[in-house]
């Protein structure tokens, strides 16, 4: 049974998570030969100051400031 854990910044809508789950499930069925009902996806919201990309916290990354604030983070000034 394929089990996947997806970490997201807070603020994604139910519709966004639903669409993601549908697309990933379709891919698992096609690529892995899994049964749809056996594909399990768990979403976990992670605060922007608990994630770092390239050594920079997402909450402090000027390049990501628009995305972080859009999804409930607090980008640095």
pLDDT of residue 6: 97
Task: Count Cβ atoms within 10 A of the Cβ of residue 12 and give its class: 0-12 exposed, 13-18 middle, 19 or more buried.
Answer: middle
| pLDDT 10s digits, 17-65 | 999 999 999 999 999 999 999 999 999 999 999 999 999 998 898 886 6
Cβ 69 vs Cβ 48: under 8 Å:
no
The pLDDT of residue 31: 97
**Residues sharing a CB contact under 8 Å with residue 46, sequence separation 6 or more, in sequence order:** 7, 8, 9, 10
Which pLDDT does position 75 carry in this prediction?
46
Instruction: Please say if the pLDDT value at position 76 is more than 50.
Output: no
CA angle 62, 11, 1 (to 5 degrees): 110
DSSP single-letter state for residue 11: T
């Amino acid at each position: 049974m394929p089990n996947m854990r997806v970490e997201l910044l807070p603020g994604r809508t139910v519709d966004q998570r639903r669409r993601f789950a549908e697309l990933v499930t379709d891919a698992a069925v096609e690529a892995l030969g899994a049964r749809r009902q056996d594909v399990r996806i768990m979403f976990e919201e992670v605060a922007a100051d608990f994630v770092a990309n390239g050594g920079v916290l997402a909450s402090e990354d000027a390049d990501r400031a628009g995305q972080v604030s859009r999804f409930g983070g607090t980008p640095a000034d």
